Amino acid sequence: MIITGTAQHEAWQERVLPPVEQVRPDVWSVPVPIPDSPLRYTLSYVFVDDAGVLLVDPGWDSAEGRAALEAGLACAGAGIGDVTGVVLTHVHPDHHGMSNWVRERSGAWIGMHPAEAETLPVRAWRHRDPGTDRAWLLRHGVPADVTEGLVISHNRIGELMDMAEPDRAIEDGDLLPLARHELRAIWTPGHTPGHLCLHEAGAGVLLTGDHLLPRISPNIGMHDGSEGNPLGDYLASLEITAKYTAEEALPAHEYRFRGLDARAAELVRHHDERGGEILAAIDANGGAATAWTVAAGLTWSRGWDALHGVLRRLALGETLAHLEHLAAIGAVRASTGADALVRWRRAATD
């Protein structure tokens, strides 16, 4: 992997906001700060076109973020009122948070993949009973006295319930309505069900959202109501994006890079190694363990004891995603005991 966003990389090392940059003719990278986050900022992308501006991932909604976005647009010779469309790689608040504010001031349409729209908090959580979520946590081994700090309630996600609904669906392979750019959507589920990357062949760039980042692995997790095998989806999506090896990656965080195939291979190895660590954790617990017990025995960058609240929930969700993938490939199986706990075993173990 080769770092191409050298100014962005230097800013990352110095823990400051990187500069606004013109990365291609009529294409600008705009850092939008994320308050109190180790990710520090989202890289929003501005595509200047004949009829106005297409904005990809406006970023976290805050006064500082709004000012940064407007300053970035000004560098591109535009204003907030020139935005005609907003495209979301996915709906996490550090990407989608400011979309409503942009639409209110510009009249811009908002587009995302249909599977992503279904994950909006207002759809996913409006009618869900917090007791159901607590039962899900208990079923996967979370101690009763810990669940209160992890359970998702309407009070906890109240602000997220107002995140903007889309005006249009963007499907895999769709060309976005631009005259100067041939920007095509690529569906890359895994980090979220409807995550999109965006490819402009003429410019030689792939906007990777959170799907491929140069330094960290995106969270691939499960929660109450999750279905399928998101890690399997993610690994399949890596195979798709690895084919764009000649392109420069324009990620949503950190800095630009080349070597999409090499970075994809690194992430595949990371998840393979994590799968092996999970099997070892099951063995270390007598051959059967809940997802919570497995998670507590894994290697985390900050250490398990340093994780609290939402970070422990994310760790549990990531562990479950790995377990579901291991089950899908026949390495483990799950069973529910008389105590209502779901325990995981190697598939060959009775």
Tell me how many degrees the CA angle 253-226-287 measures, rounded to the nearest 5. 100
- pTM of the shown model: 0.94
DSSP structure class, residue 166: P
Residue 118 pLDDT > 50, yes or no?
yes
Query: How far apart are the C-alpha atoms of 41 and 52, rounded to whole Å?
Result: 25
Taking the C-alpha atoms of residue 103 and residue 277, their distance in angstroms, rounded to an integer, is 45
Contact 173, 200 (CB under 8 A): no
Mean pLDDT of 190-202: 97
In the chain the domains, ranked by start, together with CATH numbers, are 2-120+163-258 (3.60.15.10), 130-154+268-346 (no CATH)
Q: Which residues pair with 48 in a beta bridge?
A: 53
Please state, in angstroms and rounded to a whole number, the distance separating the CA atoms of residues 315 and 320. 9
- Give pLDDT, residue 123: 77
Please check the confidence at residue 159 and state whether its pLDDT lies above 90. Answer: no
The mean per-residue pLDDT over the stretch 293-317 comes to 92
pLDDT at 152: 78
Average pLDDT over residues 129-139: 88
Look at residues 212, 197, 190 and name the one whose alpha carbon lies nearest to residue 322: 190
Given a cut of 50, whether residue 350 has pLDDT beyond it is no
Take residue 215 and report the two structure tokens written for it: 């330094």
Q: What is the mean pLDDT of residues 22-29?
A: 98
In single-letter form, the type of residue at position 203 comes to A
